[in-house]
Structure 1
Amino acid sequence: MISNPSALNTLLADIRRFVLETCIPLEAEIDRTDVIPEPVVAQMRALGLFGHSIPREYGGAGLTAEELTLVNIEVSQAATVFRARFGGNTGIASESLVADGTEAQRTRYLPRLASGEITGCFALTEPEAGSDATSLRTVAVRDGDHYVLNGSKCFITNAPLADLFTVFARTDPDTPGAHGISAFLIERGTPGLSTGPAERKMGQHGSPVGDVYLKDCRVPASAIVGEVPGQGFKTAMKALNKQRINLAGLCIGPAIRLVDEMVRYAATREQFGRPIADYQLVQQMIADSNTEVHAARALVLETARKRDSGGDVTMEASMCKMFASEMCGRVADRAVQVFGGSGYMARTVAERFYRDVRVFRLYEGTTQIHQLNIARRTMEARGRALELG
């Protein structure tokens, strides 16, 4: 749903200018230094990028799912680390509050997240709890009006620089699986919470990822999202359901960029006295890539519109994430192939993006987890249809 076409077009134009004039010229430097310069982050704040999906009453732009998809497609045509810097605030790190937070929690944190004054992160994954997030071992023990948390988290985007942590912990040790998990809002500086150094990664240099440690971390019971214990896993799934549509949009932008780069390179690179763009096997790679980009874009926008209309998009969100991330990986692989030997060299956009987009098939649920989810829901729906028929 597009609520204000004129305002959206202005926003997209502003983002396109930011991407072309500020982000793309800095891609190689940031990949080398592993740091986004602070003046660039200040520009992100000035453009309102930290608060796109946060409701207007809390200082955000209140974009619909469809509008947010179009923004994500635009902004991710630069190296994905730029969006990662503000993406938590306008995505997974704020959505728990938007979905289930109390009014006091929303008022306290959402305006600061929307402005970029603070950076949020979503601390769910653990060394023994990845795809099976319900097996997490971080515990929160009730002590009067407080809880004491102990455990650790890993692979948490923005953990090394985050100010606000949404931490998932088991508050009911006697309840297995999802039902005994609660989500806590914990500020940096709280005694007992610490973070490790940024991990060295395959790609997305400039987007810090690290561990979160909780050792006798004491927080008030009012720190639980919504102040309702045992609802944390449901809160996480609400956040992830929306984020999977966002992430699918973020897979489309790099693929669009890579198609453009393939076309540009093929038109200028000559072999056997002709541009390689004249050769049909190169044309096939470009044609397949562009077709898959359009297919992913159509699927994600259709799903976003269904979500905006109030429909249940749990299965479609999985489809979007699975298809778009796999599509992006195939396009990145073809881009390296079209670039040939140059595509293997670190100086080219094909090599950088090939590394950057590989993680899309892993986080927010691996491809294989989404395949299982899609199959299960498909069979359940088919079973219901047979019963009714």
Structure 2
Amino acid sequence: MQETISEPSKRLQNQIPFEQFIEQFKSILQQQFHQEEDINQLSISRGLPPTVLNEIMACNPLSVVIPSEYGGRGTKVHELLTLLSAASYESLALSLTLGINSALFLQPVAKYGQEEAKAQVFDRFLKLRNMGGLMITEPDFGSDALNMQTAFTEDEKHYHLKGTKHWAGLTGQADFWLLTARRKTAAGTLQRDIDFFICDNTQPGQKIVVEEYFENLGLYQIPYGRNILDVSIPKAQRLIPHTNGVQMMLDLLHRSRLQFPGMALGFIQRMLDEAIAHSRQRQVSGRSLFAYDQVQQRLAQLQANFTIVSAMSVKSTQMAGIENDLTLLGLEANIIKTVTTDLMQESAQSLLTLVGAAAYKLNHIAGRGIVDSRPFQIFEGSNDILYNQIGEAILKQMKISGETNLKSFTGNHPLMSLAAERIRKLTDVTINAPVQQRKTVELGRIISRIVSLNWVLELGAKGFREELISGTVALLSQEIATLMSHYSFEQNSIVLEDYQENSAWIHFA
């Protein structure tokens, strides 16, 4: 890494009250996306114009995840979630860009980085507006990250990494990367544990080669691609785990998933605001869409989505600080990630339905919202996989407790006891082992909604608007009832590989 540019400023924007800081940020977004440029056109072009990005980064938004001793605002979770929400109201791609920098680079560096590396990284982020990302996924090992093949060896001063990574957000754009690799033994095998390294892409010997840029569907402003790693990393740039590398990775990923409500909240609020405005303005058969009962149902669901993610934002603020070890909070992290991302996609679909054909354009907020929010259900763990993990975790807890009745189990669970009383008639079923994987996934969805209901009730107890709470409770209860009905219905449908045999309809016409 290069020499430190200067001592980190102790009086940067960390001295500005947060309310003023976030209003300045929103003002810059308004100016750049609605006055200087048209966000609807920017969002269908690859990349974000450097002039726009420079203006946005000039207010140091990432200072919210830099410790105060290095000139930042002090890594307060509520500030980060508010920042991500403000960004996603205007641009989901911008919010994800900030989220990648925050959760997948700066927070891990702040928690696990060596002092020499931290001082230089944070200084360059604050003074030169640098960016950073994370490379875990490999072409043959996506969700199976523990079997990654990127390997490293070491000499007296450096670690040497070789491998291939793909689908890393900010490919070819980030100045810094967190690279993951497994140690290569003298026998040529790879150890099970995983190590993380800070790669300074601006320095000789640390340049990552972009072999291909992907034509990603949606999130056009973020470059993705396939990267070839053959780099030499100074030893001061290795992250130091508190226990082992696998647990460090879990802590990192769980913290990232817990911060999804920040990106989701602003996006869902935008979908809601657009839906209300359109429904009031659009006239059908002599009255506004807003007057139709089915439209009211959709708008009520959008408000419920907003309320659920608001409750999750409160929970994330309580849990996601870098001072906390999140290794064992996989259940909470997976629930927050799956539910928030499902609600993002659902909200965009609802807006598109209300607006109609005009929304089926990439440069319309609804059409763009559908393709931009869809990847959130896939990256950092496909939702089907995470729902399966939620279901497996609950089945394990039920086995340990000796409980087979879902009503009794949820009534005694700290994450669900408040909600359990509201839905006790719905959950009076026996869970008999073994459970099919498809049923485990369904159970994961049920549990995620019960926990969501619990958090909404907790939010209501804190004084959140009562009408929003009551409407959300009703809609969540209805969804849980539907999911329980699905779970109780037995079916073992399987695919027929030779399905074409005796299945041509024309023979039966």
Please report the TM-score for the alignment, with normalisation by the length of structure 1: 0.89
The one-letter amino acid paired with 1:127 is P
Q: Is the 8 A contact 1:179 1:230 kept in 2?
A: no
Q: Cα 1:231–1:115, aligned 2, differ >3 Å: closer, same or farther?
A: farther
Q: Secondary structure, in 3 states, of the residue corresponding to 1:129? A: coil
Q: Do structure 1's residue 352 and structure 2's residue 368 form an aligned pair?
A: yes
Match of 1:341 in 2: 357
Q: Is the 8 A contact 2:151 2:190 kept in 1?
A: no
Q: Secondary structure, in 3 states, of the residue corresponding to 1:233? A: helix
Quote the offset at 1:342 in angstroms: 1.1
Q: Do structure 1's residue 22 and structure 2's residue 50 form an aligned pair?
A: no
Q: Is the 8 A contact 1:300 1:320 kept in 2?
A: no
Quote the offset at 1:318 in angstroms: 1.6
Q: Is the 8 A contact 2:114 2:236 kept in 1?
A: no
Task: Give 1:302-313 correspondences, 5 Å limit.
Answer: 302-308=315-321, 310=324, 312=326, 313=329
Match of 2:334 in 1: 318
Question: How many equivalent residue pairs?
Answer: 382
Q: Do structure 1's residue 283 and structure 2's residue 296 form an aligned pair?
A: yes
CA distance in 2, matches of 1:26, 1:233: 43
Match of 1:208 in 2: 223
Match of 1:218 in 2: 232
CA distance in 2, matches of 1:178, 1:111: 34
Higher strand share: 1
CA distance in 1, matches of 2:208, 2:45: 28
Q: Do structure 1's residue 170 and structure 2's residue 186 form an aligned pair?
A: no
CA distance in 2, matches of 1:295, 1:175: 49
CA distance in 2, matches of 1:132, 1:261: 39
Answer with 199-208 or 15-24: which moved more.
15-24
Quote the offset at 1:307 in angstroms: 3.8
The one-letter amino acid paired with 2:152 is A
Q: Cα 1:32–1:67, aligned 2, differ >3 Å: closer, same or farther?
A: closer
Match of 2:118 in 1: 106
Match of 2:60 in 1: 48
Structure 2 unmatched runs, 5+: 1-13, 404-411, 413-509
Q: Is the 8 A contact 1:54 1:98 kept in 2?
A: yes
The one-letter amino acid paired with 2:388 is L
Task: Give 1:120-269 correspondences, 5 Å limit.
Answer: 120-172=132-184, 179-188=192-201, 189-191=203-205, 193-215=208-230, 217-226=231-240, 231-269=244-282
Answer with 44-53 or 356-365: which moved more.
44-53
Q: Cα 1:149–1:284, aligned 2, differ >3 Å: closer, same or farther?
A: same
CA distance in 2, matches of 1:190, 1:83: 31
Q: Do structure 1's residue 65 and structure 2's residue 77 form an aligned pair?
A: yes
Q: Cα 1:198–1:58, aligned 2, differ >3 Å: closer, same or farther?
A: farther
Match of 1:373 in 2: 389
Quote the offset at 1:221 in angstroms: 3.4
Q: Secondary structure, in 3 states, of the residue corresponding to 1:118? A: coil
Match of 2:471 in 1: none
- Alignment partner of 1:93 out of 102, 105, 118: 105
Q: Is the 8 A contact 2:178 2:197 kept in 1?
A: yes
Q: Cα 1:300–1:385, aligned 2, differ >3 Å: closer, same or farther?
A: farther
- Alignment partner of 2:92 out of 75, 80, 85: 80
Larger radius of gyration: 2
CA distance in 1, matches of 2:157, 2:128: 31
Match of 1:293 in 2: 306
Q: Is the 8 A contact 2:25 2:56 kept in 1?
A: no
Quote the offset at 1:164 in angstroms: 1.2
Quote the offset at 1:230 in angstroms: 9.3
Q: Is the 8 A contact 1:155 1:209 kept in 2?
A: yes
CA distance in 2, matches of 1:248, 1:137: 32
Deviation per CA, 1:219-260: give whole Å up to 9, x if none: 33333222x799433333222222112223201211110111
CA distance in 2, matches of 1:346, 1:299: 30
Q: Is the 8 A contact 1:51 1:115 kept in 2?
A: no
Deviation per CA, 1:100-146: give whole Å up to 9, x if none: 11111211212222445322110111111211111111111234543
Deviation per CA, 1:290-343: give whole Å up to 9, x if none: 112111211231232234595854321221111100011111111110111112
Deviation per CA, 1:340-388: give whole Å up to 9, x if none: 111212342111111111111111222123223323433444455559x
Quote the offset at 1:29 in angstroms: 2.2
CA distance in 2, matches of 1:373, 1:111: 39
Q: Is the 8 A contact 2:183 2:191 kept in 1?
A: no
Answer with 76-85 or 166-175: which moved more.
166-175
Structure 1 unmatched runs, 5+: none
CA distance in 1, matches of 2:104, 2:41: 27
The Cα RMSD (Å) is 2.8
Aligned-residue sequence identity (percent) comes to 20
CA distance in 2, matches of 1:317, 1:177: 29
Q: Secondary structure, in 3 states, of the residue corresponding to 2:90? A: coil
The one-letter amino acid paired with 1:12 is I
Q: Is the 8 A contact 1:182 1:230 kept in 2?
A: no
The one-letter amino acid paired with 2:217 is M
Match of 2:456 in 1: none
Match of 1:363 in 2: 379
The one-letter amino acid paired with 1:105 is A
